[in-house]
Amino acid sequence: MMTIKVKFFASLREEVERSEVDLKPQGEMTVAQVWALACQDMPLPEHILSAVNLEYVSADTAVKDGDEVAFFPPVTGG
Q: What is the per-residue pLDDT across 45-60, written as a single tens digit (0 to 9) for each? A: 888 999 999 999 999 9
DSSP 74: P
pLDDT score for 65: 94
Secondary structure of residue 71 in the 3-state scheme: strand
Pick from 25, 30, 36: which is nearest to 60 by CA? 30
- pTM score of the predicted model: 0.91
When computed from its CA atoms, the radius of gyration of the chain, rounded to whole angstroms, is 12
Give the separation between CA 18 and CA 5, rounded to whole angstroms: 13
- Above pLDDT 70, what percent of the chain? 96
**Which domains are seen in the chain, by residue range?**
4-72 (3.10.20.30)
